[in-house]
Amino acid sequence: MNNRGYLQPELIRLWEEIVTPRLAKGTVPQKLTFSRGKRSGGTLRIQAPTTLATELQHEEPILLERINSFFGYKAVEKITITHGNSVDSLPSHRLPKIIPFTLETAQKIESMTSNIQHNELREALTALGKTLKSREIE
């Protein structure tokens, strides 16, 4: 995203821990925006089911405290809530589900890097290939 709107991957990954499992269920942090040139006092947009939106609004002071504790400073001043079914519309930057792959796939990746002469480079590229293949979305 541009310099005025972004989300830290850690915020997404630790969302449940930051806002509690009860409030995280069905909610998705979508975008964090700041005024030009600022990195504090931002607005965090959260998508939530309509049934949970009112509760999130009520809990905003607590959410702000928990989110700012995560950042270590007053990064977020305001929360806006967009209504929708968050489970069906997860943002593309969510971490993919790790899935197992077959021995055949592992051997194919190893054969693709077998002609690389530098041992450390070959091992690193093989590991990278296996990691990327295991993170493909089902």
pLDDT at 85: 62
Reported as a single tens digit per residue, the pLDDT across 6-56 is 567 778 888 888 888 888 888 888 888 888 888 889 999 999 888 888 888
Reported as a single tens digit per residue, the pLDDT across 75-89 is 999 999 988 764 444
From 5, 1, 11, 32, select the one nearest 95 (Cα to Cα).
11
Structural domains of the chain, ranges and CATH numbers in brackets: 5-89 (3.30.300.180), 103-134 (no CATH)
From 33, 47, 112, 116, select the one nearest 84 (Cα to Cα).
47
HSE-up (13 A, CA, CB side) for residue 132: 7
pLDDT at 21: 86
67 phi and psi angles, rounded to 5 deg: -65, -45
The whole-model pTM stands at 0.57
